[in-house]
C-alpha cells in the first residue's frame, strides 16, 4: 500500500539507515517541488567569483550521516534551508548571516503544512535555530558560555550535539577529527560543570540551626565544620534519616571533644 501522506512519506525516507537515495529521489522526481520546495531551492548556483559548495548535496550528506532518529534527521534536513534567503556577497565572499533563525521559522511553517505534530515541529525548529551555536567554540568559550549552550539545548542537548557532529562533510580527515575532538571537549566540560553545580546544590540532612540546638553550640566556625562533616557523610552514604544523622554527629562531636 503506497503512502500518500507527505509527512509519512518523508519520515519513511528519513528513518531509513541510509536515506541518501530516497532523498535524491524525492528531489529528482519533483515530489519535493510540491511538498518541500525548500530542498530544491538549496541547489544554489555556483558563482564564478564567490564559489561555495552545493548546499543541497551538503544537506543530504549531513542527513545521511546523522543518527537515524526522526527528530535529528528532520533537523539535519532543514538546518540550512534559510541559506537561500540570507545569501549575501558582501565583504568579499558569500555569507549566510542568521540563516539558522530564518531556517527555524521556515522549518516550523513547512512541518506544519506537512502535518507533523506541534511538539515535534517545535523541537525540530529549535534544533535548527541552535544548529550554528557551536561555531566559535574552538576560539575559546568561558564556562558561562558552555553553561549557556547546555541550558539553551535543554532536553534537546543530545540531539543538538549529534546534529553538530554530523554537520561536517569535509573530505579533509583532519578537519573532521578536529571538529569531533572539539565537540568531545565541549561535552566533557558540560558534564564536569554539571557535576560541580550538583555538588554546590547538595545540603546536609540537617541545617545549622539544628546542629546548634542539638550540640548546644554558639554560632561560629565549629558549626561550619559540623555541617561539612554532615555534607561529606551524605555524599558518602546518601540519606540516612535524622536519627542516624544525629547519632553520627554525636560520635563526631565526641571524637573532637576528647
Domain boundaries, the chain: 1-131, 136-201, 208-257
Average pLDDT over residues 84-89: 74
The pLDDT of residue 215 is above 70: yes
pLDDT value of residue 47: 41
Q: Which three cell numbers stand for residue 109?
A: 511553517
Q: Which three cell numbers stand for residue 131?
A: 544548529
CB of 89 closer than 8 Å to CB of 47:
yes
Higher pLDDT, 171 or 4: 171
Tell me which H or E stretch contains 224.
helix 221-237
Higher pLDDT, 138 or 45: 138
pLDDT value of residue 197: 86
What is the spatial distance between Cα 47 and Cα 115, in angstroms, rounded to a whole number? 36
CB of 146 closer than 8 Å to CB of 190:
yes
Average pLDDT over residues 74-96: 81
pLDDT value of residue 4: 67
Predicted TM-score of the model (pTM): 0.76
Taking the mean position of all CA atoms in its chain, how far away is CA 16?
23
Tell me which H or E stretch contains 87.
strand 87-88
Burial of 117 (0-12, 13-18, 19+ CB in 10 A): exposed
What is the spatial distance between Cα 244 and Cα 196, in angstroms, rounded to a whole number? 27
CB of 97 closer than 8 Å to CB of 34:
no
205's CB contacts (< 8 A; 6+ apart) are: 230, 234, 239, 240, 241, 242, 245
Amino acid at each position: 500500500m503506497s503512502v500518500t501522506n507527505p509527512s509519512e512519506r518523508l519520515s519513511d525516507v528519513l528513518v531509513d539507515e541510509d536515506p541518501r537515495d530516497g532523498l535524491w529521489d524525492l528531489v529528482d522526481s519533483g515530489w519535493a517541488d510540491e511538498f518541500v520546495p525548500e530542498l530544491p531551492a538549496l541547489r544554489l548556483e555556483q558563482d564564478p567569483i564567490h564559489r561555495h559548495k552545493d548546499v543541497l548535496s551538503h544537506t543530504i550528506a549531513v542527513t545521511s550521516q546523522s543518527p537515524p532518529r526522526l527528530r535529528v534527521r528532520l533537523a539535519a534536513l532543514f538546518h540550512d534551508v534559510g541559506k537561500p534567503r540570507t545569501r549575501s556577497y558582501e565583504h568579499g565572499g558569500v555569507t549566510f548571516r542568521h540563516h539558522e533563525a530564518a531556517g527555524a521559522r521556515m522549518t516550523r511553517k513547512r512541518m506544519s503544512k506537512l502535518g507533523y505534530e506541534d511538539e515535534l515541529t517545535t523541537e525540530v525548529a529549535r534544533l535548527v535555530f541552535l544548529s550554528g551555536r557551536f561555531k566559535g567554540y574552538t576560539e575559546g568559550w568561558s564556562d558561562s558560555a558552555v553553561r549557556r549552550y547546555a541550558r539553551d539545548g535543554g532536553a534537546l542537548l543530545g540531539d543538538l550535539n549529534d546534529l553538530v557532529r554530523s554537520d561536517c562533510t569535509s573530505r579533509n580527515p583532519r578537519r573532521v577529527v578536529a571538529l569531533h575532538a572539539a565537540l568531545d571537549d565541549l561535552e566533557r566540560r558540560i558534564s564536569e560543570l554539571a557535576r560541580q553545580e550538583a555538588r554546590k546544590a547538595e545540603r546536609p540532612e540537617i541545617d545549622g540551626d539544628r546542629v546548634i540546638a542539638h550540640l548546644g553550640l554558639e554560632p561560629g566556625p565549629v558549626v561550619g565544620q559540623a555541617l561539612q562533616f554532615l555534607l561529606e557523610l551524605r555524599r558518602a552514604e546518601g540519606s540516612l534519616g535524622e536519627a542516624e544523622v544525629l547519632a553520627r554527629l554525636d560520635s563526631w562531636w565526641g571524637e573532637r571533644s576528647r
